[in-house]
Amino acid sequence: MDQQQYQQIEDQITPPTPYFKNVIKAFLVGGLICTIGHAITYFYIIFFDFTETTVGNPTAATMVFIAMILTGLGLYRKLGQFAGAGSAVPVTGFSNAVVSAAIEHKTEGLVLGVGGNIFKLAGSVIVFGVASAFFVALIKLILVTMGVVEW
């Protein structure tokens, strides 16, 4: 049996990835997480002195904190298996990536273990986040200079 024949058998038997189902699940769970985030936003606006411009920080911090607790309890992993991108894309997914790496490497000590590995997964998010932010800002600057849009 050659490679091509085998590939055929394998493709036949391997169940296809249920993209549609995954998208729906990601949409619902991701939407739910964002709704919770919005509720927290309103909570901070109404009960504390935050405006829409300044409320982002405490809201993100709260979401990160909640995801941290869930990760520690091993629940975020289960949510991730169900929701996929729905739980990975919001800031809670970033928190999960950071905290899970920290827990994992605790046994190698604080400096080389936790410190050295905490951004093992989240590091690329930061790198590409900063890089893409730079380019988006550059494009906007050019457009503003040309007078196409305003700041």
Partner 1 sequence: MKKMALALFCIPFFLFGCSGEQLVEVKNTANAEQNQNVEEVIKNSNDVYAGNAIFIDDQLLVAVQAKPWLDYKKSKIEKNLKKQIEEKYPNLEVFVSADYKLYWETQKLLEEEDEKKVSDELEKLKKLAKEET
Partner 2 sequence: MVIIFKTKPSIIACGAVAGPLEKKSVFYSYFDSVVEDERWNQKTNEQGHAMMIQEACNIIMKKANITNNLDIDFFLSGDLVNQMTPTNFAARELAVSFIGMFSACATSVSSAIVASLLTELGASKYAIAGSSSQHNSIERQFRYPVDYGGQKPETAQWTVTAAGYALIGKHDPKLPSIVAGTIGKVVDYGEVNPFHMGGAMAPAAFDTISSHLKKRNQKITDYDLIMTGDLGKIGLKILKAMFAQTGAKQEELDIFRDAGAEFYGEDKSFQSGASGAGCSASVYYSYIEQQLKTGRYKRVLLCATGALLSPLSFQQGQSIPCTAHAIEITME
Nearest distance from C-beta of residue 92 to partner 2, angstroms: 9
Asked if 71 and 93 count as a contact pair (C-beta separation under 8 A), the reply is no
Out of 18, 27, 28, 42, the residue judged to bind partner 1 by CB under 8 A? 42
Q: Which does 52 bind (CB under 5 to 8 A by kind): partner 1, partner 2, none?
A: partner 1
Nearest distance from C-beta of residue 14 to partner 2, angstroms: 6
Task: Between 58 and 116, name the residue whose CB sits nearer to partner 1.
Answer: 58
Three-class secondary structure assignment of 34-93: HHHHHHHHHHHHHHCCCCCCCCHHHHHHHHHHHHHHHHHCCHHHHHHHHHCHHHHCCHHH
Nearest distance from C-beta of residue 140 to partner 1, angstroms: 14
Q: Which tokens belong to 133?
A: 């932010």
Q: Which residues bind partner 1 (CB under 8 A)?
A: 42, 45-46, 49-55, 57, 150
